[in-house]
Structure 1
Amino acid sequence: MPLKFPLHPAFALLLCLGTTAVNAATLNDRLERPSQSTALGAQTLLSDVQPVGEQQVMVGAAGHILLRDASGQVRQAQVPVDLLLTAVQFVDGQNGWAVGHDSVVLHSQDGGRSWNKQLDGRAINPLLLKAAEDVLATAEQAASAAPDDDHFANALENARFALDDAQAASESGPSRPLLGLWFRNAREGWVVGAYGIFLKTTDGGASWRAVNGLENPDRLHLNSILGLADGSLLVAGEGGRLYRSVDSGEHWQPTQQPTDASLYTLAKLSSGQVLAAGFGGTLLVSDDQGVSWAFRELPVKASLYGVRQLSSGAVVLAGQGGLLLYSTDGKAFEQWRAPSKAALLNVSETHTGQLLLVGAAGLQVLPMMPFKEHVK
C-alpha cells in the first residue's frame, strides 16, 4: 500500500469527502446529477478561487461553482456534477477548467457561467491501466536483457506494483480525486491527483493521456502542478516530493527534496521566485525555477494551503485554523486569524481592494486596509 503522511483535517477533507460511501447516491449518480441550486453556496466549503477579469470564480462542495462580480453579487453556475471540486484555473476570460473528486474534469467556455464534463474516473481508469501495462512490458524487456542489473530489477518490481494498483483502481470505480491542474493555454494542460494520477491534454481536454516517468513507486498523492516562464513544469506532492520537467512533461526529474512534509500548493511570484507551501507551516523558496529549494522561516507551524501575490507585490498565505500570513517582501510574514478559525484554502484580491477568502466556512470578504492594520 502507498506510504501515507499526515494530513490536516481540512486538507484531508478535499481528499476524502465524496470518496467514502454515500447512502443515497452511487458514484455514478454524483457524476451524472447536476449540482443543485442553493442560496447557501457561499456558506459551504469552497476550495479554490481565481480572478477572471473583474469577477472571481470559486469552486467547492457539491459541485458548487460561484461567480462573484465587481459589485459583490454572487451567483451560481450551471454545473453537471454533484461532487466536491478541488481546483480551478482560467487561461483567459472565457476558457477555464475545474477538477475534483471521482477524477472529474470540467470545462467552461463562457467565463465560468456554465460548465461541461470532459472527463471522469470511468474514462481515466482504463487510461491508467493501459499505461501501467505498457510500462510493465518495457520493464520486463529491460530486466530480461540485463538480468543482473539491480536498477532494472527494481524498475520491474515497481512496474508490477503500479499495474496492481491500476487494476485495483479500475475495480473500485471512479473514486480517486484530482487535486491540481495547470493549463499553458486553451489547448495544452495537465491534471494531477491522488495516488499519483497524472494526465495531459493537447487538444483542450477533448482527449487525454497518462503521464509516466515520475519516480513515484509508492503512488504518493500529487497535489499541485505549475508552469514557469522558462517553459519548465513543477509538480509538488505528498511526503515533500518535488519534480521538474524542461520538455513539456515528457521527462521528469526529482528535484532537491529538503523536507518530508507534504506540499499542497505551488505559486510563482513576479520576481521569478517559486514558492511551495504545505504541512506544518512548511514554506520552500526557489530562485532557479525549482532546481533547488531553501526553507523560509515562518512565525507559526500551521499547515498552508493557498498562496497569492497581490497587485501590490505583497504575498498572502492561507492555512489551518483561519490563518493568513502577510508579507510585503515575501520574506518576513505577519499573521492574522479569521474569527471562525475555520481552515482557509485560498485567497484572492478584488479590483476594489478587498481580500476574498475561501475555505471550510465558505466565502469571507475582508477590506484590505483594516486587514493590514490588524496583522500581527
Structure 2
Amino acid sequence: MTRTKTALSAATLLLGAAGCVQPPDLSAVRAERDKAVQRSDNFQAAAGNGQQLVSAGGGGVLVTSRDGGRHWQREQLPMPASVVAMSACPDGRFAALDFYRKVWIGDTQATNWTPRPIEGDFNPIDIDCDPKNRLWVVGSYSTVLMSADAGQTWNAQPPGEDAILTTVQFVDADHGYIAGEFGTLLKTADGGASWTRQAGLPEAFYPYAMRFRDASTGWVSGLAGAILQTVDGGATWTAQDNPGAAPVYALQAVGGAMYGVGGGGRVLRLDGNRWTALDGTPPFPADLAAGAALEPQALLVAGAAGALQVVELAPRVAAVTGGQP
C-alpha cells in the first residue's frame, strides 16, 4: 500500500513538473519564415529591366525589388517550379526559364507571372531575350528553341551534335552566340536564321557562362576556374588568369567593366587579363550563381543560402577594351 501511494505521489509530481514546462519559443522561426529572403533560398537566376529587379530559383521562389534591391517582395510560383535562368526583354517584360519545361512571363512591373509550356523532351538550361523581344532557349540534346510571341509558340532550330548547350546570348539584332559541352560554340550573323559552328573552343571545355560585349569580344568561363577571351568573334580564344581558380557561374558587364560571380561566394573583376577578387565585397555564405547589372556602378548578386545583395562597384578610370583596362 505504501509503495502504491509513493508511486502515485511520484506520478503526480511528474505531471506537475510537466505542466510547468514552457512551450518552445518559435518566434525566431516565424520571423525567418516571414522574411522576403530566407536562409533556405537557393537563387539561380537574376535580371533587371532598369526599374525592377527579379531573382528566382529552386522551389519556385521568386522575389522582386522596385527600389534597387533595398527591399524585396516574395511570391511562390505554383509547383512544380524551379527557375534556372532569367532574362529581361527590351520591351521591359521578364522571362524566367523553368526546369520543368516552361517559361514564366512577367510584365514590366515584374508581376502577373504567366506560365508558357515548352514542347519537347529535354532539360532547359538557359534563356535570352534578343533585341527583337524574341525568346531563345537552349538545353540538352543540342536543343535550340525560339519564340516570337512570348512563349505561346516555339520554333525549333535544326539539331546539331548531341551536346548540352549551357548558355545563349544575343549581342545585337543580328549577332548571337550559343556555347555548350565538348567545346561547342555556335554563331549567328543573321538574327538566328542560321547557326554555324565555330572551332575555337577546346573540345574538353564545358562552359558555365558566356558574355559578349560586342560581336567580336567575349568571355566564357568553365570548369576549374577557367576563363577564356576572344577578340575575333569566337574564332580563337586566349586563357586569362584567375588566381583563385574559383569557378565562375555568371559573367556580367557593368559600366564598361567585366565581372564574374561564382564559387565560394566570390565576386571577381577583370583587370587587364587577370581576374581578381573585388575588394570590400561582403562575405557570402555559399556559391553565387547569378548577377544582374544596375548601371552605372552596381551589381546584384544571387546564390545559395539566401545570398541576394547589391554590391556597389568602384568606378574605373577606363572601360575594358579588348581585355585591357
TM-score normalised by the chain length of structure 1: 0.66
Q: Structure 2 vs 1, CA of residues 189 and 309 (structure 1 numbering), >3 Å: closer, same or farther?
A: same
Structure 1 residue 197, shift from structure 2 partner:
2.4
Q: Is the 8 A contact 2:254 2:298 kept in 1?
A: no
**Gaps (5+ residues) in structure 2?**
1-32, 317-325
Aligned counterparts, 1:124-163, within 5 A = 124-125=119-120
1:113 corresponds in structure 2 to: 111
Q: Does 1:75 align with 2:98?
A: no
Q: 1:80 to 1:287 in 2, by over 3 A?
A: same
Q: 1:192 to 1:367 in 2, by over 3 A?
A: closer
State how 1:353-368 maps to structure 2 within 5 Å: 354-365=298-309, 367-368=311-312
Q: What's the CA shift string for 1:183-209, capped at 9, x where partnerless?
A: 224642210112322211123322112
Report the alpha carbon displacement of residue 371 of structure 1 after superposing the two structures with TM.
12
Q: 1:356 to 1:288 in 2, by over 3 A?
A: same
Cα displacement (A) at 1:67 = 0.8
**Contact 1:70–1:351, Cα closer than 8 Å, also in 2:** no
Verify the 8 A CA contact 2:89 2:133 in the aligned structure 1.
no
Alpha carbons 1:79, 1:114 under 8 Å: kept: no
Matched-pair contact (CA < 8 Å) for 1:181–1:225: yes
Q: Which residue of 1 aligns with 2:287?
A: 343
Could you tell me how far apart the structure 2 residues matched to 1:199 and 1:84 are? 19
TM-fit CA distance, 1:306: 0.5
Of 209, 214, 217, the match for 1:273: 217
Aligned residues: 279
Q: 1:186 to 1:74 in 2, by over 3 A?
A: farther
Among 318, 338, 347, the residue aligned to 2:261: 318
Residues 266, 276 of structure 1: 8 Å contact kept: yes
Q: Which amino acid aligns with 1:83?
A: A
**Which residue pairs with 2:54 in the alignment?**
57
Change in CA separation of 1:242 and 1:369 when aligned onto 2, cut-off 3 Å:
closer
Indicate the SS of the match to 1:236.
strand
- Which of the two has higher C-alpha Rg? 2
Closer, same or farther: CA 323–114 of 1 in aligned 2, 3 Å: same
Q: Which residue of 1 aligns with 2:174?
A: 231
User: Aligned AA for 1:316?
Assistant: Y
Structure 1 residues 274-294: Cα deviation after superposition (integer angstroms, max 9, x where no partner): 111121112121212333322
Instruction: Pick closer, same or farther for the CA change 1:220–1:341 going to 2, 3 Å.
Output: farther
Task: State the SS of the aligned residue for 1:362.
Answer: coil
Does 1:306 pair with 2:250? yes
Q: Give the aligned residue type for 1:344.
A: L
2:35 to 35, 39, 64: 39
Q: Equivalents in 2 of 1:39, 1:95: separation in Å?
A: 26
Letter in 2 for 1:57: V
Give the structure 1 partner of residue 124 of structure 2: 178
Question: How far, CA to CA, are the matches of 2:215 and 2:186 in structure 1?
Answer: 21
* Alpha-carbon distance, 1:40 to partner: 5.3
Cα 1:111–1:193 change in 2 (3 A) is farther
> Counting helix residues as a fraction of each chain, which structure ranks higher?
1
Is the CA contact (8 Å cut-off) linking 1:47 and 1:345 kept in structure 2?
Answer: yes
Quick one: which amino acid aligns to residue 204 of structure 1? A
Structure number with higher strand proportion: 2
How far, CA to CA, are the matches of 1:246 and 1:256 in structure 2? 16
Structure 1 stretches of 5 or more lacking a match? 1-36, 126-168, 170-175
- Residue 245 to residue 361, structure 1, CA distance change in 2 (3 Å): same
Which residue in 2 is equivalent to 1:333?
A: 275
TM value normalised by structure 2: 0.76
Q: Which moved more, 1:346-355 or 1:61-70?
A: 346-355
